[in-house]
Structure 1
Amino acid sequence: MVQINERGVNVAVLGATGQVGMVMRRVLDELDFPVKNLRFMASARSAGRTLEWRGHEIEVEDVAKADLTGIDIAIFSAGGSTSKEWAPKFAEAGAYVIDNSSQWRMHEDVPLVVAEVNPDDLDDIPSRIVANPNCTTMAIMPVLKPLADAFGLKRLIVSSYQAVSGAGRAGVEQLMNEAQAALDQGADQLVFNGTAIEFPEPTKVVRTIAFNEVPFIGALADDGSLETDEEQKLRNESRKILHLPDLKASCTCVRVGVFTAHGMSVNAEFEREVTPDAAREVLESAPAVELNDIPTAQLAAGKTPSFVGRIRSDQAVDDGKGLAFFVTNDNLRKGAALNAVELAQIVARKHFADQL
């Protein structure tokens, strides 16, 4: 434990050495989070490393050997199985846990929150665990919430175009290795023959991802629907965050050969008539949203907002009650690390005001 300030909250980051954990450390600094004492934790494999934060050298602790007492807020980015084991232990020791995995999202006593959308759900946290949404859900919530409030959201069809960083560092390395192999062999041969290049065997994404799109992310759901669990997350999480339990939603999740920033093609049906101009007027003042004519992955990578553009009437919906639009968002930043730290900020204000 390293003391940073005289006042503030005691913070622990579990999974501090990972890809998202690295961004979380950066975001804690950028947002000037009110840290009093700061601890970094990970598995035994990463324990003992030293990480720098605001000029302080902090040694990474082995969570299995760590004393969990005295922690006010723990921010997790360590996977579902780790969270299942350790979140209750941290909570029992007195911490509020902000969890970035899918483990707790649909538990009734665990709030599922996007900072700009439903922060009031953090007023009462009986389990002391707070869930961070999936990155695709996260990207479209700041856009859908104000539209739902203004026009009454009824139905969603979403096709996602998800970057390889969503599959972790292993996804990034697979794309790099495959792209290099293609360039070495003459990638333009793929124009006429998809088998012209001898690619390495896939190591993370289930099929070759370089110069390709792969319409399968996650695992098949066990309910016979033939949807993947990634596709079901959008529907289930959207219902919970927007407090719309009957929202109809269908999603097709596609992994694409982009390093960072997910894209989503959205068709939304509303209860009331909506025009593109009316939608733009609503979204112009929406927090964490930025209008852009052509929102691309490269535009969003490294930035905070959900970029939304190509807003037009959905010609397949009657009576002018439908919109089609495209959203891009950095899946590592707002899609994971930034929202988690923002939720920790809200928890600090609501539950540790006397320490700030």
Structure 2
Amino acid sequence: MSVKLAVVGATGSVGREILVSLAEADLVPAANVVALASDRSVGSEVSFGEDDDLTVQALNGFDFAGIDYAFFAIDARTAKKEVKRAVEAGAMVIDCSDAFRLEPGVPLVVPGVNDAALGQMKKNICANPSALAILLACVLKPLQAAVPIKRVVVSSYQPVSGAGRQAMDELFTQTRGVYVNDLPTKEHFPKQIAFNVIPQVGAFESDGYTEEEATLAGETRKLVGPDIALTATCVRVPVFIGQAAAVTVEFEGALTATAARDLWKKTPGLSVIDHRADEGYVTPVESAGDDLVFVSRIRDDKTVPHGISFWCVTDNTRKGGGLNAVQILESLLKARKKK
């Protein structure tokens, strides 16, 4: 089966990871992949595997006719306009922005967690969840299947790569500047990010939560269970790659840390590294470049009758981004073969 793909935002961090994951999955030849980006990137090249390079074309004015599937790894405002063009031309879209994640009729999918949602697609658009929602869905779904989850409390530790390549440059520049006594220049974050943590990811809403925190609750209910109560504090940290979260879960019935550990060990895509000793856990540094979701620091929550606490981490550009999007494509292609 021959298909033609477009990767919109191919020069960004998520777009590049989509290309890496596509090449690794060996789903299509390089000749069947079109790399698209803004006008300033036109003519540059992006890698597709070890042997091929793709010349970047302009998204502006691109004719999506003949494109079967299109990945969108651009900002939400632009995606809302350009995704419509792609769908009208006949492409099926996998969007990585937050433009459609909570929209009715648009499935929000983490393969291995809620694949059946792809059968509910009504608009030829599938949404790739946020990196933090993917991380949580992977660890919460096995627990929810065993004992219904009542409440989740999350503290996230989010890397600058989640805000794009220029945000990564800002961390690098500020860090270097500290050593030469340069005053930090703030462009992408509300406060200095180097040697600091910022308890704000996204704009504030009227109730005091940020957009990221509010959206996370909605995504988790859509991915894992509609009755889950979730409260989050999302924090940006001076880390380049690696999404991490400290999580406490309260259940409707009995589920111990030991039982949760056993469930996770049986779940594909998860790795339990939980040794109660120095270095007996996974940090963002170790997760970078890996496709797995890691779970550590598993213990019973002694403040409620049925609860556990744990630490989890994944590479936000891999399973938390580009890889998950490509896995959605793999699921769509398998469904297409069965028709």
Structure 1 residue ranges without an equivalent (≥5): 1-6, 186-197
Please name the residue that 1:188 is paired with: none
Corresponding residue number in structure 2 for 1:325? 310
Residue 187 of structure 2 corresponds to 203
Q: 1:38 aligns with which of 18, 22, 33?
A: 33
- Give the whole-Å Cα distance in 2 for the aligned partners of 1:307 and 1:199: 37
What letter corresponds to residue 229 of structure 1 in structure 2? E
Local SS of the residue matching 1:328: strand
Bigger Rg, which one: 1
The answer to whether 1:296 aligns with 2:277 is: no
Asked whether the 8 Å contact 2:136–2:220 carries over to 1, the reply is no
Amino acid at match of 1:274: L
Letter in 1 for 2:80: K
Aligned-partner residue type, residue 307 of structure 1: F
- Residue 353 of structure 1 and its aligned partner are, at CA, apart by 5.0
2:37 and 2:338 map into 1 onto residues whose CA distance is 29
Question: Out of 267, 278, 291, which is 2:248 matched to?
Answer: 267
CA distance in 1, matches of 2:82, 2:74: 10
For normalisation by structure 1, the TM-score amounts to 0.89
Partner of 1:63: 59
Alpha-carbon separation, structure 2, partners of 1:44 and 1:16: 12
Where 1:140 maps in the other structure, the secondary structure is helix
Q: Which residue does 2:220 correspond to in 1?
A: 238
Does the 8 Å contact 1:111/1:121 carry over to 2? yes
The partner residue of 2:5 within 11, 16, 20 is: 11
AA aligned to 2:69 is: I
The reply to whether residue 348 of structure 1 matches residue 319 of structure 2 is no
Contact 1:140 1:306 in 2 (8 A): no
Alignment partners' CA distance in 1, 2:183 and 2:265? 45
d(CA) in 1 for partners of 2:227, 2:136: 18
Aligned CA-pair RMSD: 1.5
Q: Quick one: distance in 2 between partners of 1:45 and 1:236?
A: 35
- Cα deviations across residues 98-139 of structure 1 (Å, max 9, x unaligned)? 000000001111000111100111124210000011111111
Give the structure 1 partner of residue 198 of structure 2.
Answer: 214
Deviation (angstroms), 1:52: 4.0
- Partners of 1:51 and 1:183 lie apart in 2 by 33
AA of the residue aligned to 1:299? E
CA distance in 2, matches of 1:312, 1:107: 36
**Separation in structure 1 between the aligned mates of residue 307 and residue 53 of structure 2, nearest angstrom:** 53
Query: Are residues 1:113 and 2:106 paired?
Result: no
Distance 1:201 1:181 in 2: 9
Q: Supply the AA of the counterpart residue of 1:114.
A: V
- Quick one: which amino acid aligns to residue 49 of structure 1? S
CA offsets 1:26-53 (integer angstroms, 9 cap, x no match) = 1101122245721111122212223343
> C-alpha separation between the residues in 2 aligned to 1:160 and 1:129?
28
SS of the aligned residue for 1:65 comes to coil
| Offset from partner CA, 1:218-251 (integer Å, 9 cap, x none) | 1012xx2110001111100000111x22211100
Distance in 1 (CA, whole Å) between partners of 2:69 and 2:54 is 17
Native 8 Å contact 1:170 1:203 kept in 2: no
Q: Which runs of 4+ in 1 moved over 3 A?
A: 54-57
Aligned to 1:334: 319
Residue 170 of structure 1 pairs with residue 166 of structure 2: yes
Q: Compute the displacement of 1:57 (Å).
A: 4.2
In 1: Cα distance, 2:292 partner to 2:33 partner: 27
Q: Percent identity?
A: 37
Distance in 2 of aligned mates of 1:151 and 1:82: 41
Task: State the aligned residue count.
Answer: 331
- Residue 302 of structure 2 is matched in structure 1 by 315
Matched position secondary structure for 1:323: strand
Separation in 1 of the partners of 2:270 and 2:53?
36
State the SS of the aligned residue for 2:78. helix
Q: Give 1:150 shift.
A: 0.8
Matches within 5 A, 1:64-103: 64-103=60-99
Letter in 2 for 1:258: V
Contact 1:199 1:208 in 2 (8 A): no
Distance, in Å, in 2 between the alignment partners of 1:315 and 1:14 is 48
> SS at the partner of 1:67?
coil
Gapped regions of structure 2 (runs ≥ 5): 275-280
Shifted more, 125-134 versus 40-49: the winner is: 40-49
Q: What's the secondary structure of 2:4's corresponding residue?
A: strand
**What is the TM-score when the length of structure 2 is the normalising length?**
0.94
How far apart in 1 are the matches of 2:174 and 2:52?
39
What secondary structure, in the 3-state scheme, does the structure 2 residue paired with 1:66 have? coil
2:19 and 2:47 in contact (8 A); partners too: no
Moved more, 137-146 or 172-181: 172-181
1:201 deviates by 2.2
